[in-house]
Amino acid sequence: MLQRLYVHNFRCLENFELKLKDISSALLIGKNGSGKSTIGAALEIFQNIGRGVNRVSNLIEPHDFTFGLAHIPKHVRSRVQTQIPMRFEVEVLLDQQLYKYELALALSDGELVVLEENLRVNEQIFYSRQSSEISIESRPEQSKFMLDWHLIALSIIQESHDDPSRVFKTWLSNMLILAPIPQLMSGESSEETLQPMRNVANFGDWLSGLLSRYPAAYNRISNYLKNVLPDIYEFENEIIGKKNRNIVVRFQSISGTSVRFKFDFNQLSDGEKCFFLCAVVLASNDYNQPLFCFWDEPDNYVSLSEVGYFIGELQSSFKSKGQILITSHHEETISRFFDENTFVLDRKSHLEPPSIKRLNEIQVTGNLIDSLICGDIKL
């Protein structure tokens, strides 16, 4: 489980800390522009590192620095970057082992580089780094080597199957960072993956990968869909070529007849596609090891009468294993979370960083939803 996330000097986040220890499901609320989606972007950087992205310039861009270093004149830029580096820290508890990863990035002569990088396991240093010099402390004899400071070491270091760095990278790569755009979600697939894109455009590839690796996941997906779509009969990932598949859905008449209708996944409504997405998230958490999931506004395309069950199923699935963090503006979603696992972000203007507090640390007068609507909650 994610215990702590710290981000400094990344977009609007400055000296930002989110603590999720012992929280299986958490909610982020706040006005538009308060930084909720930026938290997902920060988590996506860790995810990309776990998936093998190793060049700093493929993870961030100069304008991602909070203080706009890209616009500082070159003759002062190198001095400024040493004073305010971009810093990411994450603490994760996996099988009773506490992993702490730290990464500091900077601009040097207009280029994005690594200043510091460290991985600790149970407070023991696995490897440490200063600029280009890396020391692997875990080996019987301390190993040192040089690495181009434009590259991330964690993505490159290769160790044994049960090595801490491999275990940690696998967890990072399996994180689900979701901000779905249903219009882009395709039911067609030409390959198999367990790693969906943030906009979930490769939904068909993800479903194919999950069912290929874990065939029993079909029943989990089907059972959920039958609860939210009463007239669904079945879905099938049809073979349409040597390597290509396409999701088709069959609905049946609820009038007692045996009439059935066949639809391509791409013909479904945005909300129905989100039901499929939710079903695959639930199945992934059940079969593809306990996951961490960040879902930006999962209730966006779901009707008012269906939001409660939609969010409740996510909470229930991640309660026993895994962990989910969602953002929302929906009053039905907000009402399903307790004050201690609801985090409020507040940002006075675009020139100031957001602050964050748990809802139980804030004094709210009257009804919470009314206070949010009127903008009366101030940190």
pLDDT tens digit sequence for 285-320: 999 888 999 999 999 999 989 999 999 999 999 998
Cα-based torsion angle of the residue sequence 62, 65, 68, 72 in order, rounded to the nearest 10 degrees: -60
Give CA–CA dist 226/239, Å, rounded. 23
Question: Which pLDDT band holds residue 273 (cuts at 50, 70, 90)?
Answer: very high
pLDDT tens digit sequence for 22-34: 999 999 999 899 9
Written as one string, the DSSP assignment of 63-88 is: GGBTT-GGGS-HHHHHHHHHHS-EEE
Residue at 230 is within a domain: no
Residue at 34 is within a domain: yes
pLDDT tens digit sequence for 226-262: 999 999 999 999 999 888 999 999 999 876 667 789 9
Residue at 253 is within a domain: no
Tokens of residue 336, six digits = 């399903």
Written as one string, the DSSP assignment of 314-365 is: HHHHHHHSSEEEEE---HHHHHTS-GGGEEEEE-SSTTS--EEEEGGGS---
Helices and strands (DSSP H and E) totals, the chain? 9, 18
Q: Beta strands 323-327 and 25-30: pairing type? A: parallel
pLDDT of residue 241: 86
Residue at 104 is within a domain: yes
Residue at 146 is within a domain: yes
Give CA–CA dist 37/320, Å, rounded. 26
For helices 203-213 and 217-228, angle between their N-to-C axes, nearest 10 degrees? 130
| Residue predicted with more confidence, 298 or 162 | 298
Domain that holds residue 351: 2-175+338-374
pLDDT tens digit sequence for 32-70: 999 999 999 999 999 999 999 999 999 999 989 986 544
Residue at 160 is within a domain: yes
Q: pTM of the entire structure?
A: 0.91
Asked if residues 14 and 66 have their Cβ atoms less than 8 Å apart, the reply is: yes
As a whole-number percent, the residues of the chain with pLDDT over 70 amount to: 89
Please, where are the H alpha helices in the chain?
A: 36-50, 74-83, 164-174, 203-213, 217-228, 270-287, 304-320, 331-335, 368-374
Give CA–CA dist 373/364, Å, rounded. 13
Give Cα 352 to chain centroid, integer Å. Answer: 25
Give CA–CA dist 351/345, Å, rounded. 15
CA Rg value for the chain: 22
Most confident option among 67-71, 138-142, 181-185: 181-185
pLDDT of residue 82: 43
Beta strands across the sheet bearing 176-178: 176-178, 292-296, 323-327, 25-30, 342-346, 355-358
The DSSP code for 10 is: B
Tally of domains within the chain: 1
Residue at 266 is within a domain: no
Tokens of residue 197, six digits = 């894109």
Question: Which pLDDT band holds residue 116 (cuts at 50, 70, 90)?
Answer: very high
pLDDT tens digit sequence for 63-88: 899 865 445 555 554 454 446 899 99
Residue at 26 is within a domain: yes
